[in-house]
Amino acid sequence: MLPDQEPGNGDPGSDPAAGSDTPRPGSQGRTLKIAAVAALATTGLLIVSADTLVGTLYRQLRPELEQTIGRALGHPLRLGEYRGFGWAGLRLGPSRVLSAPADRSSLQVRQLSVSLDPLTSLRRRLPVVQLTLAGLEADLHRNAQGSFWQFGAGDPSQPPPRLSLRVRMGTPALATLHTAMPAPAGSAAVVRFRLQGQADLELHREEIQLQATLRPLDGRGRSQGGSLRLLGGGDWGEQRLSADVRSHRFPLQLPARALGLPGALSGHGDGRLRLGWANGRPDCQGELRLRRVRWQPPG
C-alpha cells in the first residue's frame, strides 16, 4: 500500500492555491504599471487636444481682441503668436503696441500671458482678464499737448466693452521718456528708468487704477539710486487723473528733463505729493524736501 500523503507534501492537487483566481504579486504590479501608463497617455492626449483647441480659438479671436483692446489703448495692438498654455494662462510670443497719430509712444513685450479669473468674473458678471508681461520696454514721446500717452476716445454710438483688464509685470520694465525740449549741454533729452507695478483697467467705465515704483537709470543703464512710488487712478474718458507720489532720494534732473525745464538741475528730493489733472489743469499739493540743489541756467 502506498503511504498516505499529507496535504501540501508535493501533491499539486492538494495545494490550496492551485487553480485559484488570486493574482500573483508580480502580475498585480504589472497591471498597476499598465494602468498608470494608460492614464498618462490619456492625460497627454487630452492636453494636446486642449492645446490645439485653445490655439485655434485664439487665432480666431485675435483680430477682435486686437481691435477691442487697441481701441481702448488708443494705439494699434499686435498680439504675438500662440505658444501654448500653463498655470499663468495662454502664453503669447512678442507683442507690440504701435505708435498712433495722437502720440509717437509705443510698447513691446517679449512674452505675454493671458488668463481668465473665473470666480471674479462670475461674481462681477463680466470677464476679468489678467495680462502678465515679461520683458516690457516702453518708448514714450511727449506730444504737442504735453502728454506721453493718449488713450482712445469712446465711440458715442457704441458702449465700451464690458471687460475688466488686469495688467501685471512678471519682470521689471524698461521705460524711456523723450521730452520735447532739448536737455542741457546738447545731450539728448531722454529719461530712463526701471518700472515695477500693476494696473487695473475697467474698459466699460473708462477707468484705470495703478501702482508703480520707478528707479532712475543713467545713460549707461545703471541705477542712480532713489525711487519714486506712485499710487493713483483716473478716468481717461474725462481726462481726469489723481495720484499719491512718494519720493525717496529721487534725482531732480529726471523730472526736470521730463517737464522740459531749461538749464541744468541737480540734487534729490524726499517727501509726498498729491498730483492731479482735471479740466485741462494740473494740481499739486503736499511737501517735498529738496537737498543739495543746484541749478545752472542755459548758456
More confidently predicted of 165 and 21: 165
Amino acid occupying residue 107 = L
Give the pLDDT score at 108: 94
Exposure string over 280-289, b if 16+ CB within 10 A, otherwise e: eeeeeeeeee
* Residue 225 scores a pLDDT above 60: yes
Question: 140-151, pLDDT tens digit by residue?
Answer: 888 877 778 887
Question: 238-264, pLDDT tens digit by residue?
Answer: 778 899 999 998 888 777 776 667 778
CB atoms within 10 A of CB 82: 18
Question: 192-202, pLDDT tens digit by residue?
Answer: 889 999 999 88
Amino acid occupying residue 7 = P
Give the pLDDT score at 44: 45
In this structure, is the dihedral angle defined by the CA atoms of residues 6, 8, 12 and 15, taken in order, positive or negative?
positive
CA distances from 56 to 6, 42, 52, 62, 209 (A): 73, 21, 6, 10, 33
More confidently predicted of 37 and 222: 222
Question: 36-55, pLDDT tens digit by residue?
Answer: 555 555 544 444 455 677 77
What mean pLDDT value characterizes the chain? 78
Pairing mode of beta strands 89-92, 82-86:
antiparallel
* Residue 92 scores a pLDDT above 50: yes
* Residue 28 scores a pLDDT above 80: no
More confidently predicted of 52 and 128: 128
Q: Containing H/E element for 85?
A: strand 82-86
Question: 106-116, pLDDT tens digit by residue?
Answer: 999 999 888 88
CB atoms within 10 A of CB 71: 20
Give the pLDDT score at 11: 52
Q: Grid coordinates representing 237?
A: 474718458
More confidently predicted of 137 and 7: 137
